[in-house]
């Protein structure tokens, strides 16, 4: 009986403790609330497409527990913005409790309606916080942009302009015998896994001042160097003669895939003054293709920067292949060449690598070896490959044989000294070994570098796609 009385007494204490809820009668003082920011800012948000979620903290600076009379979205239900206040998805919440010296989170999203204009516009609102002593506010600012939405479209001959961005879902296909022309300054943004497939012809006509952009639809700063946000550009049989000039291709699963095209009478794929960066696998994947490239940067790729497979015919002049991919462990070389495939019977089928010229190029990165080969000879020792690295900077180990001038001429093994590869700046430092040592005869095809800097105004052209211009 005595033990039962003790148990009942202990239970009574617990019940009395938990039955007494903390009182939040304090309504704030002259100091008001404190916030982790005074403005929540969203980068360019495409109309009809929701933003990522941003947040900020609301601090109770007092020792006493505090009850905020109300937290209110000023625009109410008509606002483009949406709130989640400490787990409650409400435009307005009353009697919001915060313990002394504690805080709560407010999450903000925005979806913007189309405005029927070409230029970006600003959408604003504010969040109001009511306490006994004052009304405080947090500004909400978003930059909106109308877009041309494309989804599973088969395109006939047409031109994409710079007036409005193009937002692509799933895929768009340039149909056979049709041509997609892309004007300077046009912007093509791709949703997750969306791709551009080309059966006809692609003509990208960017300029140094107004390049064409192929990128993810996420424009927030955090996404700018993140790979794998969309698919890739795929040039299929029938797309021979396609041209890409002054383009930026970034943030995809791959950059550019060139498949069994460019070796016939239609002519090679020509890629000039173009940057391919921040991709999760191949920057350039070519299979039995013909490609002429110059003044190109292919960097920050999860596997090969350039993989030239199943033979083909290739020429790269004044290109920089820089691979310091930091999002996953990479074991593959930046540049890879092969000339065969395995058929259905697992038998090697050799396809001649007719030419793979790398002239005035830089191939460098984090791995010990950034040039790799998987080349086969046909029966009877008939050679089915021809490649040449001439006046290049190569990342290869000391035991890599560079003595055969049929394949290697005027090679430098030293670090090219990029300005800052951790910031994706692959221009040359003032003491770079690649300065003034390019072959001028090769440079005449590209007298200006990828940024439009003339290569012949100092002691000599530099290797790679960037010409170092010293300040006077």
Report yes or no: 462 and 455 within 8 Å, Cβ to Cβ.
yes
User: How is residue 105 written in tokens?
Assistant: 């989170």
Q: What is the biggest distance separating any 2 CA atoms in the chain, rounded to whole angstroms?
A: 107
Q: CATH assignment of 34-144?
A: 2.60.40.2310
Model pLDDT, residue 17: 42
Domain boundaries, the chain: 34-144, 147-443
Reading the block at residue 289, the tokens are 């293709």
pLDDT at 264: 85
**In 10 A of CB 457, how many CB atoms?**
10
Token code pair at residue 239: 């797309």
Cα 140 to chain centroid distance, Å, stands at: 27
Query: Do 60 and 101 form a contact (C-beta atoms < 8 A)?
Result: yes
Q: Indicate the helix (H) or strand (E) that contains 68.
A: strand 66-73
The span from the CA of 27 to the CA of 284, in Å, is 62
Residues near 158 by beta carbon (within 8 Å), at least 6 away in sequence: 180, 181
Q: Are the beta carbons of 264 and 285 closer than 8 angstroms?
A: no
The tokens for 104 are 């709560």
Residue 21 confidence (pLDDT): 52
Tokens standing for 6? 């003790």
Dihedral sign for Cα 8, 9, 11, 16, please.
positive
Residue 113: what pLDDT? 85
Residue whose structure tokens are 């005074």: 38
One pLDDT digit (tens) per residue for the chain, 472 residues: 444 444 444 444 444 444 445 667 777 777 899 999 999 998 888 887 888 899 999 999 999 999 999 999 999 989 999 999 989 999 999 999 999 999 999 999 999 888 888 878 899 999 999 998 789 999 999 988 889 999 999 999 999 999 999 999 999 999 999 999 999 999 999 999 999 999 999 999 999 999 999 999 988 888 899 999 999 999 999 999 999 999 999 999 999 999 999 988 889 999 999 999 999 999 999 999 999 999 999 999 999 999 999 999 999 999 999 999 998 899 999 999 999 999 999 999 999 999 999 999 999 999 999 999 999 987 766 677 999 999 999 999 999 999 999 999 999 999 999 999 999 999 999 999 999 999 999 999 999 999 999 999 999 999 999 999 887 6
Per-residue pLDDT, 148: 92
């Amino acid at each position: 009986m005595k033990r039962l009385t003790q148990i009942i007494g202990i239970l009574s204490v617990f019940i009395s403790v938990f039955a007494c809820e903390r009182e939040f009668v304090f309504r704030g003082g002259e100091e008001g609330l404190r916030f982790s920011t005074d403005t929540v800012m969203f980068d360019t948000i495409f109309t009809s497409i929701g933003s990522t979620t941003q947040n900020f903290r609301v601090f109770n600076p007092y020792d006493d527990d505090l009850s905020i009379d109300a937290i209110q979205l000023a625009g109410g239900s008509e606002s483009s913005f949406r709130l989640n206040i400490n787990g409650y998805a409400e435009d307005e919440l009353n009697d919001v409790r915060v313990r002394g010296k504690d805080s709560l989170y407010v999450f903000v999203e925005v979806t913007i309606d189309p405005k029927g204009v070409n230029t970006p516009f600003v959408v604003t609102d504010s969040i109001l916080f009511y306490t006994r002593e004052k009304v405080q506010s947090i500004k909400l600012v978003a930059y909106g942009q109308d877009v041309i939405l494309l989804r599973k479209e088969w395109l006939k001959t047409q031109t994409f302009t710079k007036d409005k961005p193009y937002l692509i879902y799933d895929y768009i296909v340039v149909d056979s015998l049709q041509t997609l022309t892309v004007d300077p300054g046009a912007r093509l943004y791709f949703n997750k896994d969306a791709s551009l497939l080309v059966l006809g012809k692609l003509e990208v006509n960017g300029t140094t001042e107004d390049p064409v952009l192929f990128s993810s639809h996420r424009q927030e700063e955090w996404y700018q160097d993140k790979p794998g946000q969309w698919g890739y550009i795929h040039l299929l049989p029938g797309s021979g003669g396609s041209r890409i000039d002054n383009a930026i291709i970034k943030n995809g699963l791959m950059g550019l895939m060139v498949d069994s095209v460019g070796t016939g009478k239609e002519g090679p794929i020509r890629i000039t003054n173009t940057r391919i960066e921040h991709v999760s696998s191949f920057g350039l994947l070519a299979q039995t293709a013909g490609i002429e490239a110059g003044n190109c940067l292919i960097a920050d790729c999860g596997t090969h920067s350039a993989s030239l497979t199943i033979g083909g015919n290739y020429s790269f002049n004044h290109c920089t292949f820089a691979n310091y991919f930091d999002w996953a462990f990479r074991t593959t070389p930046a540049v890879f060449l092969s000339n065969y495939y395995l058929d259905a019977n697992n038998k090697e089928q050799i396809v001649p690598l007719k030419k793979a010229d790398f002239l005035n190029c830089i191939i460098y990165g984090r791995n010990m070896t950034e040039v790799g080969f998987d080349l086969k000879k046909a029966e009877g020792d008939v050679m089915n490959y021809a490649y040449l690295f001439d006046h290049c900077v190569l990342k290869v180990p000391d035991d890599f044989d560079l003595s055969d001038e049929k394949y290697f001429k005027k090679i430098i093994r030293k670090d090219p000294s990029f300005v800052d590869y951790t910031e994706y700046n692959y221009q040359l430092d003032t003491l770079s070994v690649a300065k003034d040592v390019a072959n001028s005869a090769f440079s005449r095809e590209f007298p200006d570098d990828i940024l439009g800097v003339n290569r012949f105004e100092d002691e000599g052209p530099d290797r790679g796609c960037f010409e170092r211009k010293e300040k006077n």
